[in-house]
Structure 1
Amino acid sequence: MIATAGIDALMNKGWPAADSTELDGWLVRRNAGVTMRANSVLPASAPFDLDRALDYVENLYAAHQIAPSFQVGPAAQPGDLDEYLAARGYEVRTPTLVMCAEVADVLAKLPEPTTAVNISSTPGDDWMALWWVVDGHGGSDAQPAARQILNRGRALYATISSGRQAQAVGRLALVDDWAGIYCLAVDPAYRRQGLAQATIHGLLQKATTVGVNHVWLQVVEANAPARALYDSLGFQTVSRYHYRVRPQP
């Protein structure tokens, strides 16, 4: 459906970092240490001098108090980067699958929601509160940096709520005629009630009105329940990646 380098570019645009530096084919991303993707190197092309490039990355991240990290997938360059980083002491973190599908095919497999799904172009406070409790990375002081990531790219936000309390939320990043599912979170008290499916349905149904035909998502390889859901909706694995992180002393 799409080349691995192309899906890497979509994911980068779907979750944009505050700052990024072009380094001889590598994109060195920084976002105050909030979320791995926004604080890791996307190694799209091989640098001329690999050791010098690695030294630059490590010094830059150290200056920003960020652990040096690389997002390593099939398109990572140079081709032996993973082995090179391992020899340099970088550890594997969060093996992840990238799955894609046609929006129309997913909608055909989803049941019509029996609860209202509110769609907005910005994340409300109730949306943010639930996502952060279920899937937040860091303390309350990291929330502003996370919210800036959310607001930096074009996206749709779904909320299922009871009164003023969100029960389920999700984000759909919009990139050309593609969309990426992010931040799918359900309050533990309301799980196993079909709210995740309803959230996905609401987002994709709205996406059809803005010219979106294809959808991608990332799912941690070890997350068997989520993978089972996405398999049932017709998503297929098109790529995978993991992070290589250099532990800090």
Structure 2
Amino acid sequence: MTTPAAFYAALDGTWPAARRITLGDWTLRIGEGGGKRVSAATANAPGADIQTAETAMRDHGQPPLFMVKPGEDALDQALAARGYDIVDPTNGYIAPVATLTDIPIPRVTAFAIWEPLAIMEEIWAKGGIGPARLATMARAETKTAILARWNEKPAGVGFVALQDGIAMVHAVEVLAHQRRQGVAQWIMRRAAFWAQEKGAHSIALLTTADNVAANALYQGLGFQPIGGYHYRAQPQQT
């Protein structure tokens, strides 16, 4: 059974920061514009000194940003007392790969492709996923991208990478006019077939807690909750 610790390790390995720095009781991430997930600090022990992390992040040209996981209540309260706001509560999900490989992929519906085609980069760009996040994808070791087609046209994209038997899907983006037609389901299923070919036992993903449609979709596909987090950022960062 996959543990939350393995899930978080897969998150780091499949969506890697440009640099990870261990500083006392903290892990710092240098994201180079790749978003919160690759720029947030995480505590490695209770009672980690917040000032140490704040100073180090500023020294590396990043505003202080913290990822807070379940069970880190003391850290959460300490950050709140320092004026940090909650940002982007996020749910983590996981499922056995076999859960999503029970239905064959219809012909010309979804393809695993690396490196991404220009049309894939264009679809990501429409969802705000630009060059810095594409660079994050490129840093993952075992990876592919998924291109979905629907109504004989490009419809959506996703990214999946592998870490210690867990295939984690990121950056799912479906064009607005192709939504609510099952495109995201086929992206996830193609990712699962790719993961199966690579010997993965589980497939995982993240979605913000307020994305009702995405949470319903993944739960409907058989994903179960595992972990999650929220960020703490100072008001000017939100």
Aligned counterpart for 1:92 among listed residues 61, 86, 92 = 86
Which one-letter code corresponds to 1:132 in the other structure? A
Cα displacement (A) at 1:135? 4.0
- 1:102 is matched by which residue type in structure 2? P
Match for residue 51 of structure 2 among 36, 43, 55: 55
Cα drift, residue 144 of structure 1: 3.2
Matching residue within 117, 120, 126 for 1:133: 126
Is 1:73 the counterpart of 2:69 in the alignment?
yes
Tell me how far apart the structure 1 counterparts of residues 182 and 153 of structure 2 sit (CA, whole Å): 17
The count of residues paired between Structure 1 and Structure 2 equals 236
Indicate the residue corresponding to 1:82 in structure 2.
Answer: 76
Q: Which deviations, in whole Å up to 9, do the C-alpha atoms of 1:75-99 show, x marking residues without a partner?
A: 54xx511111111111100011111
Alignment match of 2:98 (pick from 101, 104, 110)? 104
Structure 1 residue 19, shift from structure 2 partner: 1.3
* Pairwise CA distance, 1:107: 2.4
> Residues of 2 paired with 1:234 and 1:133: CA distance?
28
Note the C-alpha offset of 1:128.
1.7
Unaligned regions of 5+ residues in structure 2, if any? none
Q: In the TM superposition, what are the counterparts of 1:202-213 in structure 2 within 5 Å?
A: 202-213=190-201
Counterpart residue number, 2:134: 147
* 2:179 aligned partner: 191
Shift of 1:116: 2.9
Q: What secondary structure, in the 3-state scheme, does the structure 1 residue paired with 2:5 have?
A: helix
> 3-state SS of the aligned residue for 1:80?
helix
Tell me how far apart the structure 2 counterparts of residues 75 and 127 of structure 1 sit (CA, whole Å).
38
Q: Secondary structure at the match of 1:59?
A: helix
What CA distance in whole angstroms lies between the structure 1 residues aligned with 2:159 and 2:61?
29
Matches within 5 A, 1:166-181: 166-181=154-169
Q: Distance in 2 between matches of 1:179 and 1:113?
A: 22
- Give secondary structure in 1 for the equivalent of 2:127: helix
Where does structure 1 lack aligned partners over 5 or more consecutive residues?
Answer: 137-142
Q: What is the TM-score normalised by the length of structure 1?
A: 0.86
Equivalent of 2:217 in 224, 229, 236: 229
Q: Which amino acid aligns with 1:157?
A: A
Question: Amino acid of the residue matched to residue 117 of structure 2?
Answer: G
Offset of 1:155 from its aligned partner? 1.1
Q: Is the 8 A contact 1:99 1:235 kept in 2?
A: yes
Deviation at 1:111, TM superposition (A): 6.4
The one-character-per-residue Cα deviations of 1:96-148 (angstroms, maximum 9, x if unpaired) are: 1111100101222x564354322123223221221121243xxxxxx332222
CA distance in 2, matches of 1:93, 1:172: 25
Aligned 8 A contact 2:33 2:133 in 1: no
Query: Alignment partner for residue 160 of structure 1, among 148, 155, 163?
Result: 148
Query: Structure 1 pair 226/101, CA: closer, same or farther in 2 (3 Å)?
Result: same
Superposed displacement of residue 46, structure 1: 3.5
Aligned-residue offset at 1:5: 2.4
- 1:5·1:75 contact (CA, 8 Å) conserved in 2? no
Give the distance between the partners of 2:234 and 2:5, measured in 1 at CA: 24
Residue 113 (structure 2) aligns with: 120
Residue matched to 1:139 = none
Q: Is 2:227 aligned against 1:246?
A: no
Indicate yes or no: 2:1 matched with 1:5.
Answer: no
Percent identity of the aligned residues? 30
Q: Output the CA distance in 1 between the equivalents of 2:114 and 2:21.
A: 28
